[in-house]
Structure 1
Amino acid sequence: MAGDADRSLRLLLGLSSLLTSAFIWPAGIHASVHVAVETAESGIPPVYWCTAHYVEMLLKAEVPLVHAAFRMSGFTPSQTCLHWLTQCFWNYLDWTEICHYVSTCVVMGPDYQVYMCTAVFKHLQPEILRRTQSQELQVFLKEEPIRGFEVSDYLEFMERLERSYRDVVLTDMKTLRDPVGVENLIIRSRSRLDLREAGLQFGDDDCNGSIYSNNDLL
């Protein structure tokens, strides 16, 4: 905003009025008009119980080699996804692509956050497979920038995901406004969080340590 404080404030106020802000601006969730009080007070951001859940689901269906690589590595794509999203891809994507990420989610809808993460994993697939073989996957995803990714290269892919999954993904995201519906999702997510912090894995053999069961992924 070229140092214009008033213009920056107007931008942030406008952003905070959108449902998208609850997902791309987790720090402001307590003040969002789109978020039920129960959600804000839970301490569990929507990117955990909604975005990360659907990223895992889409990876299993659309980028199965990456999904399998995570299973072999013993940790989940949702962990990496949450790490990226809580800092808005800062230090991972180029500044231009961070702006494109935010703009895409604002213009196209909050479900594009899910499609964006899926596209990033698809972009990284060759490197993910290589790092899995050398047992360096977790370190690579946490410490290395995402090189060569451009949102424009994956818009067609993300639009295809939208056509296939928007009815489900966006509907779940909109439960932020429903105190009853979101309470059940928070309880489910809190149970998973407690198990993860205890160092436990769950899910059947097909998930092999994923934080989600097969029923959740369907």
Structure 2
Amino acid sequence: MISVSALHSISGGVYVLTFVVLLLRTRSVPDRLRRYCHLLLLVVGLGGATSFLAAAGLGGVAVGGQTVLLPTFVNDVVAYSVLWFVTAMLAGVSRRMLAVVTALPFVQVVAFQFGTPMGGLIALVSTVVVIGGHLVVAYLFVGPVWRTAQALPDERRLLHWKSRNLLLFLIGMLIAFAFLSLTGLFTTFGGNVLNQYIALLIRVGFAGFLFANIDALDATDGRDETGDDHSPAEFGRSAPSGAD
């Protein structure tokens, strides 16, 4: 049976290979669009670095009788915050909204990694934070963020819509798996394999999707991508029926 360290090493190899491929692809991307590429390269590159650190067993701390790997914690905090940040950027939302949708995943990861292992009331509150946080993120992206995106060109708005739905589904699947794993539903080996698979799917899958559709970001209508919260795009438009 493959060890946990070997699984982390295999994941690290996939991240490194993906990073190299995406880095080469970035060279052909116009300078004005490379900030998106750089953020995704950060997510993939960090995934590789922390996977190798986890494979070496470095950075483990005891929390509530369980071991939390600090490299994995840092990887999750950065990855999920950045991916939601990028998705919100695609919609051209305000800086205040960007800050909110970036902070929520950070709080969720902290609550799950350091709260749920504690048991009792702390674990219960942490569970509410994780699940409730995802529901709040979903509301923001289906509501205010989507209304802001209505002012964008069709091609770019569609890219945001697909990115949002993909990330909502993948993160929702991750949360469901994470809590099911706490119940002992999976074997240690099966749980580790699924955990690595879902983590790769979110980071590599999302990065690959956006790189494949990077040309859609060239569509522009002259709006600044971080406009005023009080713009008509956010408060004066509604999502078309059935769009969500």
Does TM-score exceed 0.5, indicating one fold?
no
Normalising by the residue count of structure 1, what TM-score does the alignment of the two structures yield? 0.28
Normalising by the residue count of structure 2, what TM-score does the alignment of the two structures yield? 0.26
